[in-house]
Amino acid sequence: ELERIEQQHPALEDILPLSALQQGLLFHAMYDEHEADAYVVQLGFELTGPLDAAALQAAAGALLQRHAHLRAAFLHQDLSEPVQIIPRQITLPWQDIDLVSLDAHEREARLASFLEQDRLQPFDPAHAPLLRFALIRLAPQRARFVFTSHHILLDGWSMPILIKELFALYASRGNPASLAPATPYRNYLAWSKQQDRAAAEQAWREALAGLQEPTRLVTAQASTSGRQSSFAFSLPQALTEALTRQARQHSLTLNTLMQGAWGALLARLTGRQDVVFGITVSGRPPELTGVEAMVGLFINTLPLRLQFQSDEPAAQVLARLQDEQSSLIAHQHLGLSDIQRLSGFSSLFDTLFVFENYPVDPKGRQPSYNGLEVARAGGSGGDTTHYPLSIAVIPGAQLQLRVGYRPDLFERSAVDQLVARLQRVLEAVVADPAQPIGHIEILAPEERQQILLGWNDTAHPVPESTLPALFEQQVARTPEAIALVFEDQRLSYDELNARANQLAHHLIAQGVGP
């Protein structure tokens, strides 16, 4: 197979395997080519001040030479397992768009139109590179720089590293010597291949032993593709501080506390005490030299299982969850499809809960480069998913929840209600960590009022009458309306009434009485 690849692609620098999540993302990219790919990531930056466009383009080119895997194409046809091939040289996908001469209204409209079309334009995994750049000039001292890539190349941790390197290269006009040598992504792939697969499979087999069924919020058959809509929601600062305090007091990570709250809510919504949902782990092994500054796709999506008895104290359930997750850290490299196969289910969950614990300025501010100021201007940094519902928690003075949902499967009002219920669970855990986890109230007072009283308030006055009398009244109102259908026969109310009277007189004649 390798010889055939080398014959078809003679100018190759390398042929590499795929990480576990890369295999999953390749499947989604190929699954439905007619759907907008949920894993196309668009990142925008506002540039103000003197701009050297040629230097920025040179920096982008130098970045692709510095990180070989950014030049990757992904092949699977007629192969026993997919591979990524790295060409030695590649043409930089670059657009330079000048909107300076347009009036303000048309300029903003053209910019919005470009961003939307670019966001929806898919990548062909077999044709490298799976990224593109666009420089859109808006005014003499203002431009928008757009970096669009497929998630199969980069994770959220890598994005700020890559952008920082890009503008450092810009400041040096693309001189690769301006940066320390990069640790190649292939080192991580080599590390991954060396791990004890049998031990990992056994650990996951034990972790999911006895699971009776997957945990799904969406009962309808859902496609595996489709883009999410999203919104941000901030928890109050007082609640954030109280959560941090309780986590520290009970020797828990804030991540564990948030995961436990989401699991408890899922359990109540699905009526179970054994639930599974997806989590994303950083996947960066501390024993791999330079891993914290490496660029690539290291993250992995894994199942988290939460089991409890309804009367167990919440703090006790959370402590056990943290211990169970710690025991699986050494086995987080195994792919989700392999774990699902071990569990006996084709899928385990349809919700994803992510705690973003990597250090990054949430506003995406960068230093000034030769007088050029750089600031984030929208876009997702690699946290898009295809799942019906996902929640990403971003730490800060106020915990921020970035909520993604499939609008073809969820109404926005239903998602708002879920987020409000999650906040109520968190408030309950903060107020009394010793309370039984299965007794935490997830309904707002007005919801409880509606369910117990509002929806049951069905009383209305009914006249004193009999069924025959009511039927006679209907005959008088709509004698020609169809009352009865059987196969090809149809009777109007008038005809049915006549037959009923005929049968009644026959019964009377036979001696039948009231």
Distance, CA of 85 to chain centre: 28
Instruction: Quote the pLDDT of residue 359.
Output: 58
The predicted structure's pLDDT at residue 67: 96
Is 196-362+378-454 the same fold as 2-187? yes
What's residue 77's pLDDT? 87
Residue 219: band (very low, low, confident or very high) from pLDDT cuts 50, 70, 90: confident
The b/e string for 450-474 (b: 16+ C-beta within 10 A; e otherwise) is eeeeeeeeeeeeeeeeeeeeeebee
Q: How confident is the model at residue 458 (pLDDT cuts 50, 70, 90)?
A: confident
Q: How far apart are CA 292 and CA 285, in angstroms?
A: 9
Could you read off the pLDDT of 37-51 as tens digits, one per residue? 778 999 999 999 999
The mean of the pLDDT values for the chain is 91
pLDDT reported for residue 8: 86
Q: What is the pLDDT of residue 379?
A: 65
For residue 224, the model assigns a pLDDT of: 57
Q: What is the pLDDT of residue 240?
A: 97
Q: How confident is the model at residue 357 (pLDDT cuts 50, 70, 90)?
A: confident
pLDDT classification of 176: cutoffs 50, 70, 90: confident
Instruction: Quote the pLDDT of residue 451.
Output: 82
Q: What residue ranges do the domains of the chain occupy?
A: 2-187, 196-362+378-454, 467-509
**In this predicted structure, what is the pLDDT of residue 514?**
82
pLDDT for residue 253 is more than 90: yes
CA angle 102, 104, 105 (to 5 degrees): 100
Q: Check: CB of residue 33 under 8 Å from CB of residue 122.
A: yes
What kind of architecture, by CATH, is found in domain 196-362+378-454?
2-Layer Sandwich (3.30)
- Sheet with 131-139, side-by-side order of all strands: 94-98, 131-139, 142-150, 40-48, 373-379
Q: Which of 59-73, 100-114, 377-391, 442-456 has the lowest mean pLDDT?
A: 377-391
Overall fold of domain 2-187: Chloramphenicol Acetyltransferase (3.30.559)
Give 9's pLDDT tier (boundaries 50, 70, 90): confident
With CA atoms as reference, report the closest residue to 230 among 458, 400, 52: 400
Q: Read off the pLDDT of each residue in 470-488 and give the average, rounded to a whole number.
A: 95
CA distance 365 to 292: 20
Tell me the average pLDDT across 164-170: 94
The two tokens of residue 447 are 């919801």
Q: What is the pTM of this model?
A: 0.80
pLDDT at 110: 96
Tens-digit pLDDT profile for residues 358-415 = 655 545 456 778 889 999 887 655 556 789 999 999 999 999 999 999 998 999 999 9
The mean per-residue pLDDT over the stretch 108-133 comes to 94
Condensed to tens digits (0 to 9), the pLDDT of residues 269-327 reads 999 999 999 999 999 999 999 999 999 999 999 999 999 999 999 999 999 999 999 99
In whole angstroms, what is the distance from residue 127 CA to residue 9 CA?
12
Q: Which helix (H) or strand (E) holds 351?
A: strand 351-355
- 123-147 burial, b for 16+ CB within 10 Å, e for fewer? bebeebbbbbbbbbbbeeeebbbbb
Q: By the 8 A CB rule, do 260 and 321 touch?
A: yes
182 with 68: CB under 8 angstroms?
A: no
The pairing of beta strand 400-405 with beta strand 389-394: antiparallel
**Residue 228 pLDDT more than 90?**
no
Return the pLDDT at 269. 94
